[in-house]
């Protein structure tokens, strides 16, 4: 994946390190933002800083690879959503949950702001991720299962809001669960009066829980 085929194949250890750097970069960008120190990324990847620079000449190259990878995963999620759900609304919700698991969605907008976007591969993948969702939204509108006034922007921005880690250094797993829980809430609304509301995913956090978690280090 994310292979821009041309070059000589990497040695096995080099390829492994490259993947680990990419994964570490994904996490670091989500948690620390697009300016995350490259040294921190190398540290998380368990490699030296030189190895990172050897593989990615500069921050832009690293960002580009991360974004490309994220788009690829997103496209895969879309395919899955379209395959597994027949009705458009269900597929849209399935997609949103799936994208939360890609995690990086939160920072794609900022990452894109950091690199030149006149890039064919990037644009192609971006289109491949956007247009099926626009189609899905239109179909759900037509079927009347999605609020008529909900736009593509709303969907995208809510995904961003939900996939950003909450400030205050919760454990990562909790953060992920809460994202799904809160997506459920968004889908079904807060009201208790309307009929069939399926159970929420994820843990219910009370004020007492929050207090207990207080002795936490800064974000």
Partner DNA sequence: CGTATATGGAGGATCTCTCTCCGTATATCG
Partner DNA sequence: CGATATACGGAGAGAGATCCTCCATATACG
Q: How far is the CB of 115 from a second copy (least distance, A)?
A: 9
Comparison of 23 and 115: residue with beta carbon closer to a second copy: 115
Q: Which does 14 bind (CB under 5 to 8 A by kind): DNA, a second copy, none?
A: DNA
Q: Would you put residue 167 in left (φ > 0), alpha (ψ -120 to 50) or beta?
A: beta
**Counting contacts by CB under 7 A, is residue 72 touching DNA?**
no
Q: How far is the CB of 112 from DNA (least distance, A)?
A: 18
Among 19, 33, 46, 135, binds DNA (CB under 7 A): 46
Local structure of 180: helix, strand or coil: helix
Comparison of 47 and 175: residue with beta carbon closer to DNA: 47
| Cα angle 59-61-64, degrees, rounded to a multiple of 5 | 105
* 115 close to 64: Cβ distance less than 8 angstroms: yes
Q: How far is the CB of 150 from a second copy (least distance, A)?
A: 6
Among 19, 39, 84, 101, binds DNA (CB under 7 A): 39
**Counting contacts by CB under 7 A, is residue 65 touching DNA?**
no
* Helix axes of 59-84 and 88-102: crossing angle, nearest 10 degrees: 150
Q: How far is the CB of 45 from a second copy (least distance, A)?
A: 23
Q: Token digits for 30?
A: 């989500």
Task: Report the b/e string of 197-208 with b at 16+ CB within 10 A.
Answer: eeeeebeeeeee
User: Among 13-21, 82-90, 162-170, 191-199, which window interacts with DNA (CB under 7 A)?
Assistant: 13-21
DSSP secondary structure letters along 69-111: HHHHHHHHHHHHHHHH-SSHHHHHHHHHHHHHHH-GGGGHHHH
Contacting residues toward DNA, per CB under 7 A: 8, 10-14, 17, 35, 37-40, 46-51, 53-55, 58-59
């Amino acid at each position: 994946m994310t292979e821009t085929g041309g070059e000589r194949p990497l040695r096995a250890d080099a390829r492994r390190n490259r993947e680990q750097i990419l994964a570490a970069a994904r996490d670091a960008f989500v948690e620390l933002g697009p300016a995350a120190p490259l040294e921190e990324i190398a540290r998380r990847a368990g490699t030296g800083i030189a190895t990172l620079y050897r593989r990615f000449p500069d921050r832009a190259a690293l960002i580009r690879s991360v974004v490309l990878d994220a788009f690829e995963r997103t496209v895969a999620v879309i395919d899955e959503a379209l395959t597994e759900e027949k009705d458009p609304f269900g597929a849209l919700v399935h997609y949103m949950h799936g994208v939360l698991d890609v995690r990086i969605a939160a920072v794609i907008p900022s990452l894109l702001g950091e690199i030149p976007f006149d890039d064919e591969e990037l644009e192609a993948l971006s289109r491949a991720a956007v247009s099926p969702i626009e189609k899905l939204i239109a179909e759900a509108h037509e079927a009347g299962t999605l609020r008529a006034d909900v736009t593509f922007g709303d969907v995208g921005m809510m995904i961003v809001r939900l996939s950003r880690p909450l400030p205050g250094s919760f454990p990562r797993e909790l953060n992920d669960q809460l994202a799904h829980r809160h997506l459920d809430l968004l889908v079904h609304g807060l009201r208790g009066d309307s009929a069939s509301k399926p159970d929420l995913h994820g843990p219910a956090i009370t004020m007492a829980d929050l207090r207990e978690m207080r002795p936490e280090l800064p974000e």
